[in-house]
Amino acid sequence: MMITPVFLRMFPAMRVKITGLDPHQQYYIAMDIVPVDNKRYRYVYHSSKWMVAGNADSPVPPRVYIHPDSLASGDTWMRQVVSFDKLKLTNNELDDQGHIILHSMHKYQPRVHVIRKDFSSDLSPTKPVPSGDGVKTFNFPETVFTTVTAYQNQQITRLKIDRNPFAKGFRDSGRNRTGLEAIMETYAFWRPPVRTLTFEDFTTMQKQQGE
């Protein structure tokens, strides 16, 4: 499943800097993702815009991504940039891996929660985040995004190819090469054994020398 940010962010991963915690207090930090509205969307090419295309699909089980550095002291949290790059999304409503479940073609808002340890007794990926005095929740409207299963917009594709290390294979310099071609490039001067030199070899070599 892929994500198309509409107002940017979410890729690169959402990252936050935290201040104002009690350095000696213990905290969880967590993220969940809630629907922005009750609509389903479709992408209209000629206007390059998302348009309402009916009502939202039925709600899915709420999931919470508990940041893997949890539990940690306020001191520890404040000393680092907290990144959510390990958060995983799925459109499989039966997911049992604790991933965050979303509908495709819907608009979502990520939320960051800072939860005092002494306040929360049983934080779990499959339970809603508690609310109250010991919990602070943050919304960043610029991180709203629309989910897709295939990219709707070539600029998003290029952004992710250019920025995501794992998509390096699709960057321009690596394009249009089959597996074999890439390999033979490495062994540029290798020739198969038990072969005799033929006319083609000389012309090839001469061309390479001339370049």
Beta pairing class for 89-90 and 100-101: parallel
The torsion angle over the Cα atoms of residues 204, 205, 210 and 211, rounded to 10 degrees, is 70
d(CA 15, CA 11): 10
Considering the complex, state which of residue 45 and residue 187 has its C-beta at the smaller distance from a second copy: 187
Helix/strand/coil for 83: strand
Considering the complex, state which of residue 182 and residue 205 has its C-beta at the smaller distance from DNA: 182
**Partner from DNA, a second copy, none binding residue 200, C-beta < 5-8 Å depending on class:** a second copy
Considering the complex, state which of residue 69 and residue 73 has its C-beta at the smaller distance from DNA: 69
The least CB distance from residue 53 to a second copy, in Å, is 45
Q: Is 161 in the site for a second copy (CB under 8 A)?
A: no
Q: Is 49 in the site for DNA (CB under 7 A)?
A: no
DSSP string, 135-170: EEEEE-GGG-EEEESS-S-HHHHHHHHHH-GGGGGG
Q: Is 190 in the site for a second copy (CB under 8 A)?
A: yes
Using the contact rule CB under 7 A, the part of the chain among 22-30, 115-123, 156-164, 197-205 near DNA is: 156-164
Selected from 51, 167, 183, 205, the binder of a second copy by CB under 8 A is: 183
Q: Is 188 in the site for DNA (CB under 7 A)?
A: no
The least CB distance from residue 198 to a second copy, in Å, is 6
- Give the residue from 10, 107, 134 showing the smallest Cα distance to 49: 107
Q: Is 45 in the site for a second copy (CB under 8 A)?
A: no
Number of H helices, E strands in the chain: 4, 13
Which residues are 145's β-sheet partners?
5, 108
Using the contact rule CB under 7 A, the part of the chain among 63-71, 75-83, 168-176, 200-208 near DNA is: 168-176
The least CB distance from residue 159 to a second copy, in Å, is 34
Considering the complex, state which of residue 124 and residue 204 has its C-beta at the smaller distance from a second copy: 204
Footprint on residues 73-132 left by DNA (CB under 7 A) = 88, 91-92, 104-105
Q: Is 180 in the site for a second copy (CB under 8 A)?
A: yes
d(CA 146, CA 36): 10
The least CB distance from residue 146 to DNA, in Å, is 11
Helix/strand/coil for 49: strand
Burial class (CB in 10 A: 0-12, 13-18, 19+), 25: middle
